[in-house]
Chains A and B, each alone.
Chain A
Amino acid sequence: MPATTLKRTPFHRFHAAAGAKLVDFAGFEMPLRYTGDVREHQLVRTGVGLFDISHMGEFRVEGAGTVAFLDRALANDVAGMTVGQAMYTTMCLPEGGIVDDLYVYRSTDHFMLVVNASNTPKDLAWLRGLCPADVRLSDHSDETALLAVQGPKAAEVLKGHVPDAALAMPSNRFVEGPLFGVPAVIARTGYTGEDGFELYFKGSDGARVWNGLIEAGRPFGIEPVGLGARDTLRLEMAYMLYGNDIDETTTPLEAGLGWTVKLAKPEFNGRAVLARQKEQGLTRRLVGLVAEGRRVPRHGMVVESGGRAVGVVTSGTFGPSLEQAIAMAYVEIGSSTPGTRLEVVAGPSRIATHVVKRPFYTRGSRR
């Protein structure tokens, strides 16, 4: 049996009390599901759900050279951000592969970076290696709690418990202010395709905020939601999962994240390679696949066209809101046009699929 001890979030005892099935995710003991993946998924699409995502990493960056440093490390445009803006970006190797995908928050005197739990130590080491003397980079992952309130009723749950400005702001904005009376970063962001908020605060305030949200959310039917539903929700939106859909061997352009790559910037890690890739054209591309039947293409399965291997599946699931099996796969550029019929090799069987435009799900409440 494993000798390593899994990390726990400040909400572990609430998960255990709720009867969650707990699993190892990136070294944390996290709730996979509480009642059922499909039920929890629908709760977020139609009402409101509460996710513990405290496993994610949070870095604070400050000092005179911060903007220049981040613009050099990250593919997206940091200098152009306004205070109170949250921005999705990729962070690349000089060779163009993706070190991580992350969110950048611009505050008045510092930035916050929110990275994948599985990459927190790697990202920290990577950024420290790039960090100049006039920038201070500090890791606050361990003491920071992060809850996501997601669903069309999310704003109603928070009404009266956050500053009014937080309820008026559009997506990808944030405010710093009291959340149930404790200091917090309140961001209108998420990973579900629904309206919602991501709430950062001190882990020591965890019980107060969790209980506050459950209490305030009761009239709206709030329930905790596990990582199982988080995956079906994000995959219906074709959002990336690092380690599955993107990694150091894939570029943002291949992944369809070209919108996070600002080639107009004079210099950043990966720029030369990405500029060349754009100029010469891609040889493969991450596409959405919809299966004809209910068998699900899974991570690692080979994609064929007329019996010839043309790609590989990166993520797959049954999409509860679509009632279809869906997947993402890297395929040769010649097989990447929407409508193209492709077969996925599932042991002795073949799953008939066709390429579709991303995202799969387009009826979300995200604003």
Chain B
Amino acid sequence: MRYPEDVRYTSEHEWARLEGGLVTVGITSYATDQLGDVVFVELPQVGRKLEAKKPFGVVEAVKTVSDLYAPLAGEVTAVNEALAENPGLVNQAPYGEGWMIRLKPEHADDMKKLMGHDDYAQLIEQEQA
């Protein structure tokens, strides 16, 4: 499995991508592989302030359900409305069209606290061992 290098990762299998001062958040391909087909994603309201490492939503798959955790603190500026109609985008393009929320981070520096590509790949290897 491949993990893109232009995003940072959490141990809860979210990814975060900093672009133009905003952070886009989704779940990794490892997470979607573990979950199976996603049938519903519960996302917060735009404007809600999220705390780092606290749940902000729920991803519901056929077989199982999982909480979504904020990679860093910030205010929700957008949610992926397309997921309401087509939650399967999370499986098809977890790092692209399957994104979940966009945040205005409290401290953009918090991105550095997240895992890089190599550390995340290593974490997955350990989880699978």
Q: Which residues of A contact B40 (CB under 8 A)?
A: 293-296, 318, 325
Q: Say yes or no: A33 contacts B58, CB within 8 Å.
A: no
Q: For A37, give its contact among B36, B58, B87 (CB under 8 Å).
A: B36
A294 and B36 in contact (CB under 8 A), knowing A1-B129, A36-B91? no
Q: Say yes or no: A298 contacts B65, CB within 8 Å.
A: yes
Give the one of B63, B65, B87, B129 with max A CB within 10 A.
Answer: B63
Tell me, yes or no, whether B33 is within 8 Å of chain A by CB: yes
Q: Which residues of A contact B65 (CB under 8 A)?
A: 296, 298, 346
Tell me, yes or no, whether A113 is within 8 Å of chain B by CB: no
A296 and B39 in contact (CB under 8 A), knowing A228-B62, A318-B62? yes
Instruction: Report A42 CB to chain B, min CB distance, Å.
Output: 11
Task: Contacts A295-B42, A318-B60 known; list 11 others, CB within 8 Å.
Answer: A21-B33, A38-B37, A228-B36, A294-B40, A295-B58, A298-B65, A317-B62, A317-B63, A318-B61, A325-B40, A349-B58
Q: Say yes or no: B60 contacts A294, CB within 8 Å.
A: yes
Nearest B residue to A297, CB-CB: B65
Tell me, yes or no, whether A232 is within 8 Å of chain B by CB: yes
27 inter-chain pairs at a CB distance below 8 angstroms, sorted by A residue, are A32-B36, A32-B63, A33-B36, A36-B91, A37-B37, A37-B63, A38-B37, A39-B37, A228-B36, A228-B63, A231-B63, A293-B40, A294-B39, A294-B40, A295-B58, A295-B60, A298-B65, A317-B63, A318-B39, A318-B40, A318-B60, A318-B61, A318-B62, A320-B62, A325-B40, A346-B65, A349-B42
Instruction: Report A300 CB to chain B, min CB distance, Å.
Output: 12
Q: Which residues of A contact B33 (CB under 8 A)?
A: 21
Chief secondary structure at chain A's binding surface: mixed
Q: Say yes or no: A37 contacts B42, CB within 8 Å.
A: no
* Docked CA distance A39–B62 (Å): 11
Instruction: Report A22 CB to chain B, min CB distance, Å.
Output: 12
Q: Which residues of B contact A295 (CB under 8 A)?
A: 40, 42, 58, 60
Q: How large, as a class, is the contact surface on chain B? A: 10 to 19
* Docked CA distance A296–B36 (Å): 14
CB contacts under 8 Å to A, within B36-81, are: 36-37, 39-40, 42, 58, 60-63, 65
Q: Say yes or no: A296 contacts B37, CB within 8 Å.
A: no
* Docked CA distance A294–B85 (Å): 11
Instruction: Report A321 CB to chain B, min CB distance, Å.
Output: 12
Q: Which residues of B contact A346 (CB under 8 A)?
A: 65
* Docked CA distance A37–B60 (Å): 13
Q: Say yes or no: B129 contacts A38, CB within 8 Å.
A: no
Q: Which residues of B contact A38 (CB under 8 A)?
A: 37, 62
* Docked CA distance A228–B37 (Å): 10
* Docked CA distance A320–B62 (Å): 8
* Docked CA distance A33–B37 (Å): 10
* Docked CA distance A37–B63 (Å): 8
Instruction: Report A49 CB to chain B, min CB distance, Å.
Output: 15
CB contacts under 8 Å to B, within A20-38, are: 21, 32-33, 36-38
